[in-house]
């Protein structure tokens, strides 16, 4: 059974189609990254999944329940951590979790133990009785995330969990997410703008733009599909240079070789498989490699390749009032 499954899911606001006939599924236990530029329809999709919006047409099943027909069952099986921190500042950390526990109908005799458990996980046990107003941004976020998983939901929705946090805190949050994933075997559906984050966290990534899913794959495959890995190497001699180049050109993944005296730059795909082949050839020809490096195109490059070439609408079609109305609706 899939944790999330959509069939021709569509949501329109008047003549604006925010989510346009999308069908995809997320497997149980997956960390699924949902990327896309602002206004792509990510938030709307997330709101449909969390029962905050009803789809115009099509279907979305969360943990097997229909978001329209079985909204209550969906709510019982999801955790939702919003982009804004939503903890109550005037309550203590523990009181916030208590509130969350009650909202999610955790049986009374389990509440305290569950709270202790998540407080430990997010390392806030020692601060639990302080008012949240004294917490740093990162601590608030951790508390928010803890609130989302207190009731052990089957699917955890994280909307930009690290936006506005410093890099150390961001990495810390990734660690927590990974820990949660292992410990509670949850399916995690996360939207983010940080490619690095998606790359390090997610099993699979979906890129959405213009209300449609443009591509879904693992981060590795996406980057490989782009095919432009770069291997730079420096050899120590010009002996056998021509036959070395000949042999290299026979490796199927290599697309282009630039040479600058002893330095070679190879444009390739599947670089990690190419490197051992290079070593085989060099040792056969008795050429010593002084240094070698493999740089990979980042997910940023992948993202831009699917969403970025053009500035939204070209000038001739640009209608200020319409754009204004569109942004207003999307921001709601």
Partner 1 sequence: MTTIMYDAYTIFWRELKRYKKSRSGVLIRLIQPAIWIIVVGNIFSETQPLIQSVGFEGEYIEFMAPGVIILTAIFTSIFGGVNTLWDRRYGFMNKALTSPISRSAIAIGKMSAISLIAALQASLIIGIALAIGVTFPNPLMIIPIMGIVILFSLGFSGISVTLAATAKSQETFWGMINLLGMPLFMLSPALFPLELLPSWLAVIAKLNPVTYTILLVRELMTGVSEGGVPILLSIGVILAFVIAMVAIASYVFTREVNKPF
Q: Which chain residues interact with partner 1 by CB under 8 A?
A: 47, 50-54, 72, 75-76, 78, 80, 82, 84-86, 88, 90-91, 95, 99-100, 102-105, 131, 147, 332
Q: How far is the CB of 130 from partner 1 (least distance, A)?
A: 13
Nearer to partner 1 (CB atom), residue 250 or residue 331: 331
Nearer to partner 1 (CB atom), residue 102 or residue 324: 102
Q: How far is the CB of 52 from partner 1 (least distance, A)?
A: 6
Element at 174 (helix H, strand E):
helix 167-184
Nearer to partner 1 (CB atom), residue 134 or residue 280: 134
Coil, helix or strand for 183?
A: helix
Alpha carbons 288 and 87: distance in angstroms, whole number: 60
Alpha carbons 232 and 258: distance in angstroms, whole number: 10
Nearer to partner 1 (CB atom), residue 50 or residue 282: 50
Nearer to partner 1 (CB atom), residue 104 or residue 268: 104
Q: Which two tokens stand for residue 160?
A: 């930009």
Residues belonging to the chain: 332
Q: How far is the CB of 57 from partner 1 (least distance, A)?
A: 17
Residues near 93 by beta carbon (within 8 Å), at least 6 away in sequence: 87, 119, 124, 127, 128, 129, 130, 132, 135, 143
Nearer to partner 1 (CB atom), residue 37 or residue 147: 147
Q: How far is the CB of 44 from partner 1 (least distance, A)?
A: 9
Rounded to the nearest 5°, which phi and psi values hold at 28?
-60, 135
Alpha carbons 214 and 216: distance in angstroms, whole number: 7
Nearest of 288, 222, 276 to residue 251 by alpha carbon = 276
Q: How far is the CB of 17 from partner 1 (least distance, A)?
A: 15
Alpha carbons 189 and 200: distance in angstroms, whole number: 14
Q: How far is the CB of 162 from partner 1 (least distance, A)?
A: 16
Q: Tokens 């697309």 correspond to what residue? A: 255
């Amino acid at each position: 059974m899939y944790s999330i499954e959509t069939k021709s899911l569509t949501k329109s606001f008047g003549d604006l189609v925010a989510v346009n006939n999308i069908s995809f599924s997320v497997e149980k236990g997956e960390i699924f990254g949902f990327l896309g530029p602002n206004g792509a329809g990510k938030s709307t999709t997330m709101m449909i999944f969390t029962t905050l919006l009803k789809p115009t047409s099509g279907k979305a099943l969360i943990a097997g329940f229909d978001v329209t027909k079985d909204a209550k069952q969906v709510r019982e099986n999801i955790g939702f951590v919003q982009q804004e921190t939503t903890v109550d500042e005037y309550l203590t950390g523990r009181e916030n979790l208590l509130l969350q526990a009650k909202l999610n109908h955790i049986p009374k005799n389990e509440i305290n133990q569950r709270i202790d458990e998540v407080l430990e996980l997010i390392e806030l046990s020692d601060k639990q009785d302080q008012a949240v107003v004294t917490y740093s941004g990162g601590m608030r976020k951790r508390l928010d995330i803890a609130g989302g998983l207190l009731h052990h939901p089957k699917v955890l929705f994280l909307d930009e969990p690290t936006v506005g946090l410093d890099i150390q805190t961001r990495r810390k949050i990734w660690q927590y997410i990974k820990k949660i994933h292992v410990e509670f075997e949850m399916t995690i559906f996360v939207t983010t703008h940080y490619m690095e984050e998606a790359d390090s966290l997610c099993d699979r990534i979906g890129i959405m733009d213009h209300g449609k899913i443009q591509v879904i794959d693992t981060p590795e495959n996406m980057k490989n599909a782009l095919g432009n890995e770069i291997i730079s190497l420096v050899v120590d001699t010009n002996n056998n240079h021509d036959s070395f180049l000949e042999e290299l050109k026979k490796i199927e993944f290599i697309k282009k070789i630039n040479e600058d005296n002893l330095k070679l730059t190879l444009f390739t795909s599947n670089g990690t498989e190419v490197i051992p082949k290079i070593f085989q050839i060099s040792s056969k020809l008795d050429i010593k490699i002084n240094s070698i490096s493999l740089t990979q195109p980042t997910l940023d490059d992948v993202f831009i390749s699917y969403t970025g070439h053009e500035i939204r609408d070209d000038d001739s079609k640009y209608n200020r009032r319409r754009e204004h109305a569109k942004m207003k609706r999307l921001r709601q």
